[in-house]
Amino acid sequence: MTNKNRLRNQVFMAVLIGIASILHVIEGLFPPLPVPGAKLGLANTATLIGLRTLGFWPAIGISMARSLIGGLFGGSLFGPAFFMSFGGAIMSALAMGLISKLKKLGTNNIFVSVIGAITHSITQLTIASYLIKHSGLLYYLPLLLGLSTLTGVFIGLVCDKVMAILPAAFCAEQKSRD
């Protein structure tokens, strides 16, 4: 990789982290979905775009950075809610990274984003069950999975739209790497 590309990628990653952090905070202001604590997962768009344009590790870095910065903004840093968001963000980035290595389905933004959303909600439910030491939470699993599938489809569509207008140079990068 030339120096110029490297600089460009670093700048792009920084921009994605900034966007993700802001989305993370803004999302908290939205009116709540029917299931308490459920969110759209807007910040996941930045992770997915990072995954497509920069690769596996940068995407994980973006998701870690945005939960740290988002937690700092939201005032929940290192509280229990922070660990739920941090764990969910990392696990969903990992799952999306692995799934996107699949030959056919892996190239589909909608599929990858749904996998990410589902992993996110399962991780969060697991952490929450651990924190409140009660398994009654699992009653909400089907409801949560349904909701995250729907939001995942939405986020995947958003990613498709964003990728379509990204400068061609970034998408070319991805192709040459595969």
Partner 1 sequence: MKKKNTNVIMAIVLIIVGLSLLIGGKLLLDSRKTEERLYACVYSLTMAGRKLVKTLPLQEGNKQRYNFEGPLGVTVVEVDGLRVRVLSSPCPDQVCVQFGWLSQVNDFSACLPNAMMVLIEDGKTTGN
Return residues touching partner 1 (CB under 8 A): 28, 32, 36-37, 74-76, 79-81, 84, 108-111, 114, 128, 131-134, 136-137, 139-150, 152-153, 156-157, 160
How near is the Cβ of 130 to partner 1 at its closest, in Å?
10
Strands (DSSP E) along the chain, which ranges?
none
Q: How far is the CB of 105 from partner 1 (least distance, A)?
A: 9
Q: Quick one: 41 or 152, whose CB is closer to partner 1? A: 152
Distances (CA, A) of 167 to 6, 48, 86, 107, 171: 16, 16, 30, 19, 7
Name which of 4 and 101 has its Cβ closer to partner 1.
101
CA distance 139 to 90: 24
Residue 117 near residue 156 (C-beta atoms within 8 A):
no
Closer to partner 1 at the Cβ: 57 or 130? 130
Closest approach, Cβ 55 to partner 1, in A, equals 21
Give the nearer residue to partner 1 in terms of CB position, either 75 or 175.
75
Cβ 73 to partner 1, closest distance in Å? 11
Residue 135: which residues within 8 A CB-CB, separation 6 or more? 129
Helices 43-53 and 3-27, axial angle in degrees (round to 10): 160
Q: Which is nearer to partner 1, 24 or 60 (CB)?
A: 24
Are 100 and 59 spatial neighbours (Cβ–Cβ below 8 Å)? no
**Smallest distance, partner 1 to C-beta of residue 17, A:** 22
Given a contact cutoff of 8 angstroms between Cβ atoms, the answer to whether 156 and 120 are in contact is no
Quick one: 76 or 126, whose CB is closer to partner 1? 76
The alpha carbons of the chain give a radius of gyration, in whole angstroms, of 16
Which tokens go with 121?
């909600």
Residue 115 C-beta: closest distance to partner 1, Å: 10
